[in-house]
Structure 1
Amino acid sequence: MGFAAVKLQPAMAQASRPLAGRRIVVTRAREQAGDLVQALTALGADVVAAPTIRIEPLADLAPLRAALADLARYQWIVFTSQNTVRVVCDRLPEWGLEPRALTRVAVAAIGPATAAALAERGVAAALVPERFVAEAVVEEMVRRGDVRGKRILVPRALEARDALPEGLRARGAVVDVIPVYATVRDPGDGSRLARDIVAGQIDAITFTSSSTVRHFVDLVGREAATSGRFAAAAIGPVTAATARELGIPVPIEADEYAVPGLVDALVRHFGEAGRGRGRGRGDV
């Protein structure tokens, strides 16, 4: 199946391990979960890796290849996630291109992790909004000048929200949206995790995208997902809204829409839950 507890070292000072004894589930795709797993483990958490999604590049990337071959007609290319960076940049050598070819236009990235993924490939993002959501890209582009008539390329997930292209088009931009990957359910068996949830053996479950929420419900079933027996921790407002729409209460929401912000929110939540009362998995 797809989940396993990460073993911890013997006890350390509680002050440096504020999540000690807390069993926290990471639902992120297996290849992306490392930074969150490591951060939580370092703070004392008993981490359960239960990937609910898998990233699958689309079989037909001809539209992307055609757009990149004629990149000079665009003023901007917007990368909405690390996944988009990987899929696009991994294909460039096959097409006789290098990542630095992307620097022929201005590059925008949603979030520092996306910007870092670009930087690792030699591409500097000219725009990284302070809020790591699509709407903030629109606001920042408009703040920098009129986008009317500007051509903007947006490679993205097949099932991504339309807030970014619609927001730009509403302000007169010409936006080409090209799906490059799909987010699908991880094939793992969620029955054990579902039993642990219902038995009150899970303190928190982290969600880093709307797709992790939707496929979590598919993985463990609606009864366990909406049982209220764990604290749902969302990386940002879009993810939190999806969870609530599906009947999952969200008591933990990151102020900074990135992994460090999610970790900080978990520490705050369990620090408050642990003060002045006994510790138990009902304290979520």
Structure 2
Amino acid sequence: MITRTRHQASELALSLDRVGADTILVPMIEVVTPRSFEELDDAIRLLSGSEHTVDWVVFTSANAVQALSSRALELGATLRSRRIAVIGPATAKAVTAAELAPEIEPMLVPSEYVAESLAKALLAVSKTSQRFLLVRAEEARDVIPVTLEAAGHTVRIAAAYRNVTPPGTLPALREIFAEPGSYPHVITFTSSSTARNLVALLASINRKIPDGIALASIGPITSGTLRELGYEPSFEADEPTIDSLAIAIARHLKRS
């Protein structure tokens, strides 16, 4: 059972199809516009202006890149290149596709694809006070701004999108978890939001994740959230990427 957003699920589904797995798409999150465009529009004005008011643009997801790029296009703004830091290769790919990356300087990508590692990497290359523009989800963790501000840097946050639960998810869960014969063998979790939303939705119909279902986590942050919710991940991807998660699932299926 894939819990990613509908538009992002195809990559994982294709990878699992190749190893003979049947996939069920039950998205736990849907990416929608922020409650207010004020922060995002202010960010676009900063990035399209001629004055150098931002030293680094930091993206913590591909969704953040796409939201910024789409809004800039809607406003008719041309974004100027800045030094860019991203949380991982999928986000870097989105930056390249949106043509936001500067030609003369490579993007900063941390060795581990989590906020803690990205904040550490930014500190390592920022010896003097820097101005950061952090483009992220409304409900993101504050690890990056707290870490950078504690070191004397300035961080401006632009909420580019928010995650909500799709309206068709609850009826799908009722059907899937109605009886053991319809339970999935594996549930994938690609973010803390997917874990929290699934547990909350099941609780709303007096259900829990049944024993015996393998819980596949994309990385340590998501695994930590599952544990906070009372569930131990069955296995975790070696790297927090979709490709690595697919490999971990294939490995599990071969053993089972």
Give the TM-score normalised by the residue count of structure 2: 0.89
Question: Residues of 2 paired with 1:40 and 1:207: CA distance?
Answer: 14
Please name the residue that 1:58 is paired with: 34
Does structure 1 residue 154 correspond to structure 2 residue 137? no
Please name the residue that 1:216 is paired with: 198
* Equivalent position amino acid for 2:18 in 1: A
Tell me, what secondary structure is at the counterpart of 1:74?
coil
1:142 to 123, 130, 150: 123
Q: How does 1:17-166 map to 2 (within 5 A)?
A: 25-71=1-47, 72-98=52-78, 101-103=79-81, 105-124=82-101, 126-146=107-127, 148-166=128-146
CA change 1:67–1:203 in 2 (3 A) is same
* Equivalent position amino acid for 1:50 in 2: V
2:176·2:183 contact (CA, 8 Å) conserved in 1?
no
Give the drift of 1:242.
0.7
Question: Residues of 1 paired with 2:142 and 2:126: CA distance?
Answer: 22
Give the drift of 1:142.
2.0
Question: Residues of 2 paired with 1:218 and 1:199: CA distance?
Answer: 22
1:109·1:128 contact (CA, 8 Å) conserved in 2?
yes
1:52·1:185 contact (CA, 8 Å) conserved in 2?
yes
Compare CA radii of gyration and give the structure with the larger one: 1
CA change 1:135–1:141 in 2 (3 A) is same
Give the drift of 1:83.
0.8
Give the drift of 1:127.
0.6
1:227 to 202, 207, 210: 210
Question: Residues of 2 paired with 1:159 and 1:142: CA distance?
Answer: 23
Question: Residues of 1 paired with 2:19 and 2:253: CA distance?
Answer: 12
Q: Which of the pair has the greater relative contact order for Cα pairs under 8 Å at 6+ separation?
A: 2
Give the drift of 1:240.
0.8
Question: Residues of 1 paired with 2:114 and 2:187: CA distance?
Answer: 21
CA change 1:59–1:102 in 2 (3 A) is farther
1:53·1:184 contact (CA, 8 Å) conserved in 2?
yes
Size of the alignment, in residue pairs?
Answer: 244
Higher mean C-alpha displacement, 219-228 vs 72-81 = 219-228
Higher mean C-alpha displacement, 257-266 vs 222-231 = 222-231
Question: Residues of 1 paired with 2:132 and 2:207: CA distance?
Answer: 42
CA RMSD of aligned residues (A): 1.7
Give the drift of 1:270.
2.7
Give the drift of 1:228.
2.1
Tell me, what secondary structure is at the counterpart of 2:231?
coil
Tell me, what secondary structure is at the counterpart of 1:94?
helix
Please name the residue that 1:6 is paired with: none
Question: Residues of 2 paired with 1:191 and 1:102: CA distance?
Answer: 48
Percent identity between the two aligned chains: 36
1:194·1:221 contact (CA, 8 Å) conserved in 2?
no
Q: Which runs of 5+ in 2 are unaligned?
A: none
Q: Which runs of 5+ in 1 are unaligned?
A: 1-24, 275-284
Q: Which consecutive aligned stretches of 4+ in structure 1 deviate over 6 angstroms post-superposition?
A: none
Question: Residues of 2 paired with 1:41 and 1:202: CA distance?
Answer: 15
Question: Residues of 1 paired with 2:188 and 2:84: CA distance?
Answer: 30
2:131·2:154 contact (CA, 8 Å) conserved in 1?
yes
Give the drift of 1:59.
4.3
* Equivalent position amino acid for 1:76 in 2: W
* Equivalent position amino acid for 2:12 in 1: L
Does structure 1 residue 181 correspond to structure 2 residue 181? no
* Equivalent position amino acid for 1:213 in 2: A
Give the drift of 1:139.
1.4
1:134·1:164 contact (CA, 8 Å) conserved in 2?
yes
Q: What do the CA deviations read for 1:201-222 (whole angstroms, capped 9, x no partner)?
A: 3211001111111111133337
1:228·1:248 contact (CA, 8 Å) conserved in 2?
no
